[in-house]
Amino acid sequence: MDLYEHQARQLFAEHGISVPDAEVVEDPKAARAAAERLGGRVVVKAQVKVGGRGKAGGVVLAANPAATEITARQILGMNIKGHTVHALMIAQPVDIQAEFYVSYVLDRAAGRFLAIASAEGGMAIEEVAARRPEAVARIPVDPAEGVTDGKAAEIAAAAGLPARAAAVLRRLWEVVVREDALLVEVNPLVRTSGGELVALDGKVTVDDNARFRQARWGGGDSTDPQAADPIEVAARAKGLNYVKLDGEVGVIGNGAGLVMSTLDVVAGCGARPANFLDIGGGASARVMADGLSVILADPAVRSVLVNVFGGITACDAVAEGIVQALDSVRLTKPMVVRLDGNAAAEGRAILASRAHPLVEQATTMDGAARQAAALAR
């Protein structure tokens, strides 16, 4: 469960981390009034649960209340990476002397958290990490031990942060623990001309399994209709395990591990997966039809890759499901199907007899990914 920036900043303030004064508004006139209360010159920030707002024009410095109202009209309703802006944060500007990056993220494979920090924060942190990885410190954090004074000092020193940043690192760890967070990020953490360390922007992801303890952010089974991707909402309504990605090859598989491997192979073929869709152990006609309808609803999809390994559910049953699904869903993009495992030969024969003009078959995952990537071009 991702939080909005203003919610993350609220958490930071509750845990003793300095943040600029700000107000959240939903219309231009309210934005103007907020700017008047905050001193006139403000930063207008789109509130969407996605990165890259600054480069997309969703973060703008407004010189006065009138300019704030005009800017608010321009940003409200803007589409940023598929997310529509419904709210703005109007914040006091800060005189920035230096920008830093600090975060904690759960490292599932290692069973611990990872502190990531750099003395070079801001919008270009991804470029810094790619060009000069030595400029980004990565320090393991044992959840049982947590971030002690010594660990905080170690992280700050490794990243080249001011010694005073250790106090911020300790408080950010409190956010991780008390708020059931999987990710806590401040980018940038700035040093002002007065020497104060201030969190200008924040990102917090709360563990979905802790929704019942974090009801103030929308606990239980609730979702944020303004932040949710419409395709993900449709998939959720159909009971599908679907995550939208920024690619052009739609992917359907049975089993999370197989789907993850398929995403990697597609990327290795020079294409980008458009989604993660795990149909689990069953591949009935209804499940396949639901999966295809969701994937085809994504305008970015140029080809579809179905990668199924037959186990408890045999491949001939999967093939029957695909054939029946093609009778109820109008296939508008080329589709590559790879069936392997239990009754794979029978399944391939069923698909061959259907002879759909947009359906191709492959016998290996690598071959299927290459075909799907080529068709997406």
- Alpha-carbon distance of 62 to 70, in angstroms, equals 9
Question: Is residue 36 flagged as an active site residue?
Answer: no
Residue 376's region, left for phi above 0, alpha for psi from -120 to 50, else beta, is: alpha
Helical H segments across 132-214, by residue range: 149-159, 165-178
- Alpha-carbon distance of 192 to 20, in angstroms, equals 11
What letter represents residue 212's amino acid? F
Q: How is residue 345 annotated by DSSP?
A: H
Question: Is residue 104 flagged as an active site residue?
Answer: no
Of 185, 242, 248, 320, which residue is the catalytic one? 185
- Alpha-carbon distance of 28 to 180, in angstroms, equals 35
Look at the alpha carbons of 306, 293, 274, 104 in this order and tell me if their dihedral is positive or negative.
negative
Q: Which two tokens stand for residue 121?
A: 């924060």
Q: Which two tokens stand for residue 225?
A: 């209709």
Of 101, 104, 154, 242, which residue is the catalytic one? 101
Q: Which two tokens stand for residue 72?
A: 């608010």
Catalytically active residues are 101, 185
